[in-house]
Amino acid sequence: MHGEYKVPGGKLVVVDLEVENGRIADFHLAGDFFLEPDDALADIDAAVTGLPVETDATAIAAAVRRALPEGAQLLGFTPESVGTAVRRALVTAPGWRDFEWEVVHEKAVSPAMNLALDEVLTTRVGDGRRKPTLRIWEWDQSAVVIGSFQSYRNEVDPEGAARHGFDVVRRISGGGAMLMAAGSIVTYSLYVPASLVAGLTFADSYAFLDDWVLQALRSLGIDATYQPLNDIASPSGKIGGAAQKRLANGGVLHHATLSYDMDGQVMTEVLRIGREKLSDKGTVSAAKRVDPLRSQTGLPREAIIERFVQTFSTLYGAEPGHITAEEYAEAEALVVEKFSTDAWLQRVP
């Protein structure tokens, strides 16, 4: 069996192994990481060989850590990444390039329509009716998008939202509120089969699915890192955040919003968030502009999106794609039935 795991911001970890009588046999670790001393590689191989095939990633990492000689240096990988690669080998998880990818960047639609498209396209990927897809959002009006489990009245100031022209909608994934002012953010969605993240913990899957965007940001000169659970950051503070929803049919929705240029004062008047919450997001003052992508790249939003698409396409062989008329129609029906209703918006009062 063969497994691979690209450490977000790090190196590729590759494992090859056999299974004999319910145990791992003939285990070999490889990759483009750095390891000192050299013979620590044999220690890692020996530590994993003989473990029961049911051993989870945490226990595999613990076995590796116990086997390492004192003072061993692991650069670009960790014992946990070895455990993840082993689990992916044992469940025969495919890699990114084992799929045919599409990239979709189409007309602006309403915020509610964007949310409905997320549900429709995730469902279709899970059913096998659509190729795995990266979709860049465009929207035709400003909105606050609250998480599936957030309280409407605790998160949003209705008067402030109305005053600044923000509609309020609720998405199917968890996480915090997104302030989607026109032209101020970059939002994308990934629709992937569950097999792509097989063998990964829920937390690890966040960084795994956003590793490509870290590479895109670094190519633009931003020292981007992933901060668990779901933040994309730089030394200047938070850039954006991600959220996920996993459907019963095997479709996985992973979407992220990155700030291009946002008015911090408007944020505090529309969202019920205080300076305490902003203090760990790289925003010293509530009135400060939150503009990491604009200020750190000096590029227009369109150029940043172009680099995102280029990076993803180069890494994974993605081709341009389109949303079909049937998919748009299904999403439009879902807006009427669900995303524009008070019952959905107020599901958590």
Give the per-residue pLDDT at 280: 53
Identify the pLDDT of residue 290.
66
Q: Where would I find the H helices in the chain?
A: 40-48, 57-67, 79-90, 111-127, 152-155, 158-163, 202-209, 211-219, 264-270, 275-278, 292-297, 301-316, 325-334, 342-345
Instruction: Return the pLDDT at 262.
Output: 83
Check residue 276 and give its pLDDT.
44
Long-range contacts at 298-304 (CB < 8 A, ≥ 24 apart): 299/220, 301/183, 301/186, 301/260, 301/261, 304/186, 304/220, 304/260
Give the residue, 228 or 166, on which the prediction is more confident.
Answer: 166
What are 319's strand-pairing partners?
102
Percentage of the chain exceeding pLDDT 90: 85
The mean per-residue pLDDT over the stretch 266-292 comes to 63
- Nearest in space to 312 (alpha carbons), one of 13, 105, 140: 105
What was the pLDDT predicted at 202? Answer: 87
Question: Within this chain, do residues 45 and 149 fall inside the same structural domain, yes or no?
Answer: no
Q: Tokens 């050299």 map to which residue?
A: 38
Last residue of a domain, one of 64, 90, 116: 90
CA 310 and chain centroid, separation: 18
337 and 190 in a single domain? The answer is: yes
Q: Which two tokens stand for residue 61?
A: 């990492």
Judge if 253 and 117 occupy the same domain: yes
Tokens 């465009």 appear where? 138
The mean per-residue pLDDT over the stretch 247-266 comes to: 93
Q: For residue 258, what are the β-bridge partners? A: 186, 240
One domain for residues 158 and 28: no
CA-based Rg of the chain, rounded to a whole angstrom?
Answer: 22
pLDDT, tens digit, 9 for 90 and up, residues 169-225: 999 999 999 999 988 999 999 999 999 999 998 889 999 999 999 999 999 999 999
Q: How confident is the model at residue 275 (pLDDT cuts 50, 70, 90)?
A: very low
CB-based contact 111:140 (threshold 8 Å): no
CATH number at residue 18: 3.30.390.50
Tell me, what's the pLDDT at 152? 93
pLDDT of residue 283: 42
Half-sphere exposure of 38 (CA within 13 A, CB side): 0
Say what the pLDDT of residue 286 is: 43
Considering the domain architecture, whether residues 211 and 65 belong to the same structural domain is answered as no
How far apart CA 286 and CA 241 sit, in angstroms, is: 19
274/320: higher pLDDT: 320
Q: Flag whether pLDDT at 277 surpasses 50.
A: yes
Residue indicated by tokens 């779901």:
230
Q: Which residue has the higher pLDDT, 9 or 227?
A: 227
Same domain, yes or no, for 154 and 299? yes
Query: Mean pLDDT across the stretch 114-123?
Result: 98
Q: What is the pLDDT confidence band of residue 289, given thresholds at 50, 70 and 90?
A: low
Instruction: Give the distance from CA 304 to its chain's centroid.
Output: 17
> For 319-340, what is each residue's pLDDT tens digit?
999 999 999 999 999 999 999 9
Top-confidence residue, 168 or 283 = 168
- 3-state secondary structure at position 235: coil
- Whether residue 248 is predicted with pLDDT greater than 90 in this model: the reply is yes
* Together in a domain, 195 and 171: yes
- How many domains are contained in the chain? 2
Q: Are residues 121 and 227 in the same domain?
A: yes
Q: Side-chain half-sphere of 162: how many Cα atoms within 13 Å? A: 3
Q: What tens digit of pLDDT does each residue of 27-72 get? A: 999 999 999 999 999 999 999 999 999 999 999 999 999 999 999 9
Specify the pLDDT at position 203.
86
Instruction: Say whether both 269 and 131 belong to one domain.
Output: yes
Q: How far apart are CA 4 and CA 76, in angstroms?
A: 14
Statement to judge: residues 214 and 253 lie in one domain: yes
Please state, in angstroms and rounded to a whole number, the distance separating the CA atoms of residues 175 and 149.
Answer: 8
pTM of the complete model = 0.89
**CATH at 187:** 3.30.930.10
- Give me the domain span that covers residue 108: 96-345
Q: Does residue 26 share a domain with residue 142?
A: no
Which of these three, 90, 114, 137, is where a domain ends? Answer: 90
Q: Do 316 and 229 belong together in one domain?
A: yes
Residue 132's pLDDT is 98
Domain boundary among 56, 90, 124: 90
pLDDT of residue 287: 46
